[in-house]
Amino acid sequence: MSAGRTVRADPAAGRADGAGERRPAGRGGARSPLAALLAALRISRRDALRARGRSALIMVMVGLPVLAVTVMLTWRATEDLTPLERLPMRLGSADARLEDTREAGPVRQGETGLSWVPRSQEPPRSPRSRAEVQALAGPGSRVIPMSEEPGEYRRGSAYGEAVVREVDLRDPMTEGMFPLLSGRYPGSADEVVVTASVKAGIGATLRYRRTRDDVPKRVVGIVREQPHEYGRTIVGLPGSLIPADAGAMRFWLLDAPGPVTWEETLRLNREGLAVLSRAVLEDPPPAGDGSRDALADFRDGARTDELVYAGLVVALIVIEVALLAGPAFAVGLRRRRRELALLASQGASARHLKLVVLADGLTLGAAGSVLGALLGVGAAGAAASAVGAWPDGRLGPFEVPVGPVALTVGLGVLSAVAAAVVPAVQAGRTSPAAVLAGRPPRPRDRAGWPLLGLLLTAAGTGMTVHGARAETEWVFGGAVLGLLGLVMLAPSLVKLAGGLAGRLPLPLRLAVRDAVRNRGRTAPAVVAVMAAAAAFSTVGAAAVTTQRFYAEGHRAAYPMGTTVVHGDDVTEESWKKIRPIVEQAIPGVPLVEAYKPVDAAGRVVGLSQIDGRCNGCTTTVGPLGELPAGGPDLLRFLLGRSDPAAEAALAEGKAVIFNPAAVRGGRIRLHLWARGLSGLEGPERVSLPATAVTVREPTAVLGVAPLSAWEGTGLKVRLNHLIVDPAVARLTPEQERRFDAPVRAVTPDVAVRTERGVLTNPPGGTSDLWIMAAVASVVVLGGTFTASGLALADARPDLATLSAVGARPRTRRLVAAGQALFVAGFGTPLGLLVGLVPGFALAIQRNAHVNRVKEVALNGVPIESTQGIVLAVPWQIFLPVGLGLPLLAALVAAVSVRTKVTLTRRIT
């Protein structure tokens, strides 16, 4: 180069003039940070366009999580109707809705009026009449009643539950509450409209359960379901469905001469009415004007928990994306060695080289995140358009939460930049002479930070274990801390695993040793795979352990295999019809009768106090009641054996008691109560002649009393159980189906049940685990294939050497399969094992309150089924995931690898 010739270098390196002289860049020149960044971004953009495949891979890895989160956020914002958007459903065209709180004193409410608390300790008052509410609403106002309660209906032999509402939908004030799809609105007391989920067409007859009778109602119209409410709804005229003395929710729609302001709302609050006002929601009062929601304190605590969970989830997402995209950036670094070496040879510093690689993360991360967010909004919009907005669908107006979506895009960019940090550090160590001479840099033996990793892993495990007896946040926080520790430990773990390579076949030995030599790219992929497998393992272990805990702690209401026909409110006339139906369906099978005591009003009587009961203990009462009445067959059924002495005592009119401590002086003293709102109509304390029988196993009843013993106290007895003793006969499902529908057709108050225990693996729970396994598998395979692609890119000289010495294509395929098998086979089983710790901690934390309860059966025997710790592992899913995924990854890698290798020159 002549002395007078000017050499123009890359802007990032400044400007070189003359023979080796460098002129400092002026203000705004190449050496300013902004100019260096712009130059790095320009270089990154050009390289991204040249290497489209690698760029697309990184954008997909960054953009997919952003797309998924954007779809979820947009759908949730569209689906979650605000109180203002729900006004047509709750108010129709009325100005306000008044709720009769039945408080005699004032109440305090928030601006929505959906929650309220009393401001005095006065006892509740009786429901207000329409005239009283009209007077409180003021002159010129008009009110119409509206009520709501859950109920049961029967259509043919099928039963269902529905929300029952009473309101005159013909009134102009109700316009928009239940849009009519077909038919018309009810015009008389025997007519109703229903939502489509009730599955009753126009002209059909529903038998609505009202007290003990079935009230027939004719369906005259189908109305639109209200979003996010109980789907099945039956609507009739006021007074046609809900009894006046029922504890239903009572509302009044108000048509006022003017807006119902916040001052008017406070006035009605002082009268014990909660108000949902259109004017208040459209123009909310100041926050300091007493408009704070009555439940705001609870919601603040829940919001704090949500923020903690959101922070932990964000940390996990950033770590996972960084680990997945990191190897892809490393692939780009390998392919750009020569370009970076040229920059360094022209004067670019190590800082400039790092900036170029970080610019890759910024450029591709921003492109992938923005594209993912746009596609996510578009996908959510298409789905929302297909579902439709109210009243045509169940969604609200399409809404894009700009703030959360922008935050998600920022997280995507941050994750991509974090993924480029390690390759950027490696780029700063580039040796231009070695790279330009064709000698690739020797991989650095990265040991990670094993000591710090061990400390973080131990601290995370300690937090997780502590969380088993504390709060859930401790479990998730410990999981994140443990994951960071594993990131630092991963290079050392990879090196330890490489010690097994000596005994493997040649292709696998080459793959393992290559992974160990290049731990900088192998370790992040292994940790990413491990994290995905651990997340699945955590959820699976927590779910299965909880199922197992409740299955082992389950106490059957009846001996296993027992079939019962029961109902507390079944009348004597109904039992006379039910018994022949059952006897005809199972001829020759004896039926055991069980009775319950009832007071003069016909309400079932329970025991509030029993002599000999443990103080400070809890006791669960079974469906037979505390002390059922019956004969020797009922006693044999409950004891599971024959006891001639006890049967003789029962025949003499004595109660047979299974708790000896409750019998004193040959009698048992009982305190009674009636299951209802009013007091007991009969004796509150009784004393029965009794004898004791020791039963060593926990029992669901105190014993058996003869019918004459209860009747001698002034109480009556009512049949409530027909029992098929499993010691006599065990019914098949087909035998049970023969009388199930006919029996329930007699009265809706009766039920048919067979005791079969608890399923340890419910079908729905298992399918959910398989879905989560599929999601985890996608992440595992994605990380594995990325790491395998990087390994193949680095191993091109080695593969060329193999071809040069005569290796067959099959050998190269086996090397590729070994590289994928090492990443997935090391990360997946280890992740499944690591995830068990937080999974078990979550399960124990959920179930710890059960173990703290001291429970004693009615016969005085302590219940020990909930003592100790119950742990379970879903092996039927873990084994296919732990073994099948690595083999699948190896197979796909072997099939997809290119066997044609271009020979390269190797300089030593």
- Mean pLDDT across 664-668: 87
Residue predicted with more confidence, 790 or 697: 697
Average pLDDT over residues 230-235: 84
Q: To which H or E segment does residue 577 belong?
A: helix 572-585
141 in any annotated domain? yes
**pLDDT of res. 192:** 93
- Percentage above 90 pLDDT, the chain: 11
Q: Model confidence at 762, in pLDDT bands (50, 70, 90)?
A: very low
Q: Residue 579: what pLDDT?
A: 92
Q: With bands split at pLDDT 50, 70 and 90, how would you rate the model's confidence at 287?
A: low
Amino acid identity at 838: P
User: Which pLDDT value is given to residue 4?
Assistant: 40
- Residue 615 CB partners (closer than 8 Å, separation 6+): none
Residue 495, both tokens: 């090196």
Q: Terminus-to-terminus CA distance in the chain, angstroms?
A: 30
Residue 424 domain flag: no
Q: Does residue 329 surpass a pLDDT of 70?
A: yes
Both 702 and 775 in a single domain? no
pLDDT-based confidence at 564, cuts 50/70/90?
Answer: very high
- Residues 514, 615 share a domain: no
pLDDT level of residue 5 (50, 70, 90 thresholds): very low
740 burial level (CB within 10 Å; 0-12, 13-18, 19+): buried
Distance CA(279)–CA(494), nearest Å, equals 66
Residues 6+ apart with CB under 8 A from 186: 169, 192, 193, 220, 221, 235, 236, 237, 240
Burial class (CB in 10 A: 0-12, 13-18, 19+), 369: buried
Name residue 860's beta-bridge partners. Answer: none
Q: 732 in helix, strand or coil?
A: coil
438: left (phi over 0), alpha (psi -120 to 50) or beta: left
pLDDT for the residue numbered 14: 41
User: What residues contact residue 28 under an 8 Å CB cut-off, 6+ apart?
Assistant: 34, 35
**Is 572 in the same domain as 501?**
no
| Higher per-residue confidence, 2 vs 652 | 652
Amino acid letter, residue 259: P
Query: Residue 567: what pLDDT?
Result: 86
Task: Report residue 448's pLDDT band, with 50, 70 and 90 as the boundaries.
Answer: low
Q: How far is CA 306 from CA 142, 301, 312, 313, 849, in A?
A: 43, 9, 10, 10, 22
- State how far the Cα of 493 lies from the Cα of 516, in Å rounded to an integer: 10
Where does the pLDDT of residue 240 fall: very low under 50, low under 70, confident under 90, or very high at 90 and above?
confident
pLDDT for the residue 614 = 53
- Same-domain check for residues 606 and 523: no
Instruction: Give yes or no for a contact between 177 and 92, defined as CB atoms under 8 angstroms apart.
Output: yes
Which two tokens mark 104?
């005699």
Domain count within the chain: 3
297: confidence class by pLDDT, cuts 50, 70, 90:
very low
Flag the least confident range among 233-247, 358-372, 388-402, 672-686. Answer: 672-686
pLDDT band at 158 (very low <50, low <70, confident <90, very high): low
622: left (phi over 0), alpha (psi -120 to 50) or beta: beta
pLDDT tens for 839-870 read: 888 777 766 655 555 667 776 677 664 445 66
If residue 565 lies in a helix (H) or strand (E), which one and from where to where?
strand 563-566
Rounded CA Rg of the chain: 37
User: How much of the chain is helix, strand and coil, in % rounded to 5?
Assistant: 50, 15, 35
Using 50, 70 and 90 to split pLDDT, how confident is the model at 173?
A: very high
**Are 839 and 864 contained in the same domain?**
yes
Would residue 518 count as lying in a domain? Answer: yes
The answer as to whether 701 is a domain residue is yes
Q: Are residues 610 and 490 in the same domain?
A: no
Predicted pLDDT of residue 212: 44
Kindly state whether residues 639 and 533 are assigned to the same domain: no
For tokens 């025991």, the residue is 607
Segment among 371-375, 432-436, 508-512, 607-611 with least mean pLDDT: 607-611
Nearest to 828 by CA among 874, 787, 894, 779: 779
- 226 and 170 belong to one structural domain: yes
**Mean pLDDT comparison of 307-316, 349-358, 641-650, highest-scoring range:** 641-650
H-helix or E-strand spanning residue 154: strand 142-155
DSSP string over 482-519: HHHHHHHHHHHHHHHHGGGGGGS-HHHHHHHHHHHHTH
| Residue 656 covered by a domain | yes
Compute the CA torsion angle 475, 478, 484, 489 (nearest 10 deg): -110
pLDDT computed for residue 3 by the predictor: 41
**Domain membership flag for residue 576:** yes
Residue 115: strand, helix, or coil: coil
Domain that holds residue 248: 87-300
* Mean pLDDT in residue range 570-595: 90
Say if residues 894 and 813 touch (Cβ distance below 8 Å).
yes
Kindly state whether residues 882 and 782 are assigned to the same domain: yes
- The pLDDT of residue 890 is 82
CA 266/CA 262 separation, integer angstroms:
6
Segment 627-655, tens digit of pLDDT: 899 999 999 998 888 889 999 999 998 99
Q: What is the pLDDT of residue 2?
A: 39
- Which tens digit of pLDDT belongs to each residue from 92-135? 889 999 988 888 788 888 777 777 888 777 777 778 888 889 98
pLDDT for 17 equals 38
Q: Is the pLDDT of residue 754 over 80?
A: yes
∠ CA 8-12-18, rounded to 5°: 30
Pick from 48, 49, 22, 28: nearest CA to 349:
22
Mean pLDDT of 477-502: 80
Domain shared by 535 and 607, yes or no = no
Cα–Cα nearest to 61, from 361, 407, 488, 485: 361
- Residue (of 514, 599, 515) closest to 798 by Cα position: 514
For residues 838 and 836, what is the distance between their CA atoms, to the nearest angstrom?
6
Specify the pLDDT at position 634. Answer: 92
Q: Which of 32-46, 108-122, 209-223 has the lowest average pLDDT?
A: 209-223
SS3 255: strand
The yes-or-no verdict on residue 438 having pLDDT over 70 is: no
User: Does a structural domain hold residue 627?
Assistant: yes
pLDDT over threshold 70, residue 418: yes
Go through the chain and tell me how many residues it has. 908
Chosen domain end from 300, 328, 348? 300
Indicate the pairing of strand 205-210 with strand 703-704. Answer: unpaired
Computed over every residue of the chain, the mean pLDDT equals 77
Whether 568 and 532 share a structural domain: no
Single residue among 300, 327, 362 that ends a domain in this structure: 300
Q: Is 58 domain-assigned?
A: no
Q: What is the DSSP letter of 128?
A: P
Q: If you ran DSSP here, which 8-state letter would residue 662 be given?
A: G
Only one residue has tokens 């049940």, namely 753
Q: Pick from 708, 735, 754: which residue ends a domain?
A: 754
pTM of the model: 0.61
Q: Which of 233, 87, 84, 86 is nearest to 167 (CA)?
A: 233
Q: Are residues 704 and 813 in the same domain?
A: no
Residue 407 has pLDDT above 80, yes or no: yes
Q: How confident is the model at residue 354 (pLDDT cuts 50, 70, 90)?
A: confident
**DSSP structure string for 465-480:** HHHTTS-HHHHHHHHH
